[in-house]
Amino acid sequence: MKREINPQDTNREQAFNFWMKSPMPMVTLTKIFNVTPIRKIGNRKGMKFNMLLCWCIGKAASKIEEFYTLPEQGKLFRFDRLAINVIVNNKDGGISSCDIPYTDDLEQFNTSYMDLTQSASDSCNSIIEEGAMVIGTSAMVDTTLECIVNQYTDQFCNPMVMWGKYRKSLLKVTLPISFQFHHVQMDGGHAARFLEELQNEINELWR
């Protein structure tokens, strides 16, 4: 469910006053992750690397209160659930957008991911999860990248997690991941905590 809230009733009041009318309120942080557990679990269980990473993103974000609020068109909104957006190559050679509802249940998330992305690819239509705070993702796996900075538009203030191709070495697999967020939604400390939580959730996959 999505509902408008008064910024004065939240801990984001000061940030809202500072950044809501800023022409460039987006911030991007980049961190190199050890994603060896994702690759190992993916190979063992036959699960897609990007699906597992998206689930870890949702699990880490679900632990941080600020992810459940989002500024839109000069207002602040509160959500009671999260979804992860992925970009799908469709059968017509274009791309479609697909929102996957987040759940703590990995098997259920995997089923939704596989079914919804296939549907978006086959239909060439985007799938929107109404009423959820959507975390965008963009995986450009055809090349290795150091950092990604997304375009900013006031039509899309959602947080965005982006990555390229992972890197294999003798002992581990690493991946630089960029995280872009609106400063009204959270501060740098919240974003840094999210990145730490994300690495923790990746590590927990193997345990």
Query: In the 8-state DSSP scheme, what is residue 180?
Result: E
Beta bridge partners of 66: none
Residue 150 and residue 142: Cα distance in Å, rounded? 17
Alpha helices (runs of H) in 33-144, residue ranges in sequence order: 36-45, 49-61, 106-123
Beta bridge partners of 181: 27
Alpha helices (runs of H) in the chain, residue ranges in sequence order: 13-19, 36-45, 49-61, 106-123, 188-206
Cα 110 to the chain's mean position, in Å?
16
CB-CB contact of 69 with 76 (8 Å): yes
What confidence score (pLDDT) does residue 23 get? 86
Domains annotated for the chain, with CATH where assigned, are 26-206 (3.30.559.10)
What confidence score (pLDDT) does residue 183 get? 96
Q: Is the pTM of this model over 0.85?
A: yes
Residue 31 and residue 29: Cα distance in Å, rounded? 7
Residue 114 and residue 101: Cα distance in Å, rounded? 12
Quickly count: other Cβ atoms within 10 Å of residue 82's Cβ. Answer: 21
User: Going edge to edge, which strands form the sheet with 75-79?
Assistant: 2-5, 75-79, 69-72
What confidence score (pLDDT) does residue 11 get? 93
**Pair of tokens at residue 72:** 């839109």
Beta bridge partners of 127: 98
Percentage of the chain beyond pLDDT 90 is 91
For the stretch 80-121, pLDDT in tens is 999 999 999 999 999 999 999 999 999 999 999 999 999 999
**Pair of tokens at residue 162:** 């982006």
Q: Which parts of the chain sit beneath pLDDT 50?
A: none
